[in-house]
Amino acid sequence: MMSYGIMGVTTTPEIGHHRQPWVRTTTLQEWMEYQKAVSYYAKALTFPTKSLSAFAGLAYTYHLMDDFEAAINYYHKALWLKPDDQFCTDMLTYALESICQITARRKPGRGLLTATGGVTC
C-alpha cells in the first residue's frame, strides 16, 4: 500500500483520498500549478474540521506565488491551531522578512508594521 504525505498528513489512495484534496497539492506545487493547489486547499477548508495542513499548505502555496500578505494571513491561521508549529513559525518569519525587503525597496527609509504590532523593517 503506497502512502502520500504533505506537511504531516499521510493518507493512502485507498483510504480517504477523496476526502483530503490537499494531499494532491504537493505534486501541484512541484509542477507550479499554484492556482489548482489553492483551489484544493480552499476546498479542504470548507470541511467542518479545520486542518493545520490545509492552512499551512495554503500559506505555503501563496508564499511560492510571492503573495506574501496572503501567506502571512494563512500562516497566522495555522499557528492559531497549533502555536508551536515550527514549519509555520519559520515560514511566517521568512514571509515577513520578504515583505519587509520588498517594502524597503519600494519606499526607502520606511518600514512595515504588521497587524501584530511586533515586526518592523
Residue 28's nearest CA partner among 1, 60, 50 is 60
Contact yes or no for 85/68 (Cβ under 8 A): no
97 lies in some domain: yes
| pLDDT digit string, tens, across residues 55-114 | 999 999 999 999 999 999 999 999 999 999 999 999 999 999 999 988 888 765 555 555
84 lies in some domain: yes
Report whether pLDDT(1) > 80: no
CA atoms within 13 A on the CB side of 73: 7
Residue 82's nearest CA partner among 59, 61, 65 is 59
86 lies in some domain: yes
CA atoms within 13 A on the CB side of 62: 24
- So what's the pLDDT on residue 73? 97
d(CA 109, CA 24): 43
* Alpha-helix runs per DSSP H in the chain: 25-30, 34-44, 52-64, 68-81, 86-106
112 lies in some domain: no
CATH at residue 77? 1.25.40.10
For residues 90 and 25, the model is more confident at 90
119 lies in some domain: no
Domain count, the chain: 1
- Which structural domain, as residue segments, surrounds residue 42? 4-106
